[in-house]
Amino acid sequence: MGLEYLGKVNKHSILEVIVLAAKSLKTIDSDYLLEISHMHFTVHFLEALQLKEKVYLELLNNIRQKNITGLTQAAAKAGLDAKTTELLCQLPFLYGEMAKVIKKAKAMALNDEMMQDIEELEEYCVALKNLGYSKNIQLDLSMVNDIDYYNGIVFRGYIRSLPGCVLSGGQYDKALKLFKKDAGGIGFVFSSWLELLYR
C-alpha cells in the first residue's frame, strides 16, 4: 500500500506527495512524526572532498548510522584535516526542528550546490509550516537512502504507538533512468506489517 507519482516531478508534485504522506500518517494516528531529508546535501558534501570511492562509501555508511567513531577513523585514514573532520561529525546530528536544522546546515555548506540543496529543502519547510504540519515534521540530513536508486527528497514516517518506521519514500528518478525511462518518480509505501495490522 502506498503512492507513486510518475512523470514530470517538480517542486509542486514533491510537496504534494510529502503532504499526502503526512495526511496518511495522521489518518492512522494524530501522534505521528514525518522525517524529511535532502540527500544531495550530504552527497554534495562528500563529493566536495574528492575522496576515493571506498572512503566515500565508508563515510556515507557511518553518517547513516550516526557512528562518530567510525567517521573519525575513516577521516583519519583519508588524511582529512581537523576542520573537515569536525564538519563531518556534525552531519549525523543535523536533525530536529526544521528551522534550527536549516540554519545549522546553511552554516556548514561548502559550496553553492549544498546551499541550493538546503534552500530547496527550506522552501518545502516553509510551505509545510504554512499548511500547519510543522508540529509533526522534523528534518534528518543523515538520512541518505540508496544513492543508486534515490535522489533528492527522501522521508520516513513514524507512529508513536508503533515500533520502527511505518512509512518510507522519496524521489527515485535514478531508478527510472536505470530502466531508460525519461521521467521522474516520487512516492511512498507503508510497511507490510502495518497493512496487516490495519486490514
The arithmetic mean of pLDDT across residues 146-159, rounded, is 88
Q: Binning pLDDT at 50, 70 and 90, where does residue 135 land?
A: very high
User: Distance (Å, rounded) from C-alpha 110 to C-alpha 132?
Assistant: 32
| Total-model pTM | 0.89
Burial class for 47, CB neighbours closer than 10 Å (0-12, 13-18, 19+): middle
Residues 6 or more apart whose Cβ sits within 8 Å of residue 187: 2, 3, 4, 5, 17, 169, 172
Burial class for 18, CB neighbours closer than 10 Å (0-12, 13-18, 19+): buried
Residue-wise pLDDT for 156-180, tens only, equals: 999 988 888 999 999 987 766 666 6
User: Distance (Å, rounded) from C-alpha 189 to C-alpha 161?
Assistant: 19
Residue-wise pLDDT for 112-123, tens only, equals: 999 999 999 999
Q: What is the model's pLDDT at position 193?
A: 55
The arithmetic mean of pLDDT across residues 123-136, rounded, is 95
The arithmetic mean of pLDDT across residues 31-49, rounded, is 94
Q: Which amino acid is at 192?
A: S
Q: What is the model's pLDDT at position 199?
A: 55
Contact in structure between 121 and 41 (CB atoms under 8 Å): yes
